[in-house]
Amino acid sequence: MQGPDLNLLVVFSQLYQDRKVSLAAQNLGLSQPTVSAALARLRTMMNDELFVRTARGMQPTPLAERIAAPLGRSLADIRHTLATQASFDASTATRQFSLAMTDIGEFHFLPCLVAALEAAAPQLSISTVRGTAVNLKFEMEAGRIDLALGFLPDLVNGFHRRVLFTQRYVCLYRRGHPMAERPTDPAVYAACQHAVVVSAGTGHGHAEQVVERSGLNRFVRLRVPHYVALADVLEATDLVATVPEAFALRSVKHFDLAYSAHPIELPPIEIALYWHTKYQRDRANRWMRNLIIRLFQLNVAADNTRSADRD
């Protein structure tokens, strides 16, 4: 049996159940000659009569009896697999979604997202990965990362995008910092000591590039690869950091910090949800991205050429 036609196995299973060619044809929605032709091909392929015509209908041969049960189970497994792919019930589904985001993305997205999953999908879980630590294009194409969140301008060909909101960058410092007296003066900003989050290929990296190109000569005392300890450091020192406003808002609630508009004109960053074209119609992927869109998309104009999720 080189490359058996699965349709023939469906005909075999139906004939085994109905024991009549005419009845099997009716139940399969096929013509009787089509089922007879399929049976003839099965007999040639298996080198066995498989079904013998008797007064009690088509009776299976010993070979047909032996293969009927395992073939029936296999076809049932195939049907179940296809049905699972065709539908997705978040309330009962058990799987893990892998999301690429920065540590500041975790601050913003995870509390609300995990709470929503607890309510709507009790058996779904999330793992996060740094997009800068892996080949994000390759990992998303391979399906090892389901979705990416952030400012990721390299994800263009082969990817869809839905803009969630725009993010501006501000200056964050301890309350009572000298910069608070003249927050819009570039000279005052340049005279400060600075803390920089190094994160190439993200919105943070883009903002820092604009600052570097501004021509201001500033002293960077601290460079870190993430935001985890940044608020603690700023509270205890005179350092100033360029950060997303969402992080500043969160920080002033929990630390003795203040923030102001950045003295350098920094373009707003579009924070978007990305997924690979291969998974555009995948039901599980679509459910998760629609949940994220409902939770986090603000009143911004989406990129209609790349972000439409109309399926």
Residue 201 has pLDDT above 80, yes or no: no
Q: Which residue has the tokens 């920094």?
A: 266
Q: Which two tokens stand for residue 304?
A: 């209609």
Q: Delimit the CATH 1.10.10.10 region(s) of the chain.
A: 6-86
Instruction: Evaluate the CA torsion angle 258, 261, 267, 272 in order and state its sign.
Output: positive
CA distances from 284 to 65, 123, 148, 290 (A): 39, 13, 15, 10
- Decide: pTM greater than 0.75: no
Percent of the chain whose predicted confidence (pLDDT) is above 70: 92
Q: Between 62-86 and 6-18, two packed helices, what is the crossing angle to 10 degrees? A: 120
Q: What CATH fold (topology level) applies to the domain 6-86?
A: Arc Repressor Mutant, subunit A (1.10.10)
**pLDDT tens-digit series, residues 224-237:** 988 889 999 999 99
Architecture of the domain delimited by 169-261: 3-Layer(aba) Sandwich (3.40)
Q: What CATH fold (topology level) applies to the domain 95-166+269-296?
A: D-Maltodextrin-Binding Protein; domain 2 (3.40.190)
Q: Are 298 and 164 in contact (CB under 8 A)?
A: yes
Q: According to the model, what pLDDT value does residue 3 have?
A: 52
The residue that leads in pLDDT, 301 or 129, is: 129
Segment 63-72 long-range contacts (CB within 8 Å, at least 24 positions apart):
64/12, 64/16, 68/12, 68/13, 68/16, 71/9, 71/12, 71/13, 72/13, 72/16
Q: Delimit the CATH 3.40.190.10 region(s) of the chain.
A: 95-166+269-296, 169-261
d(CA 224, CA 236): 16
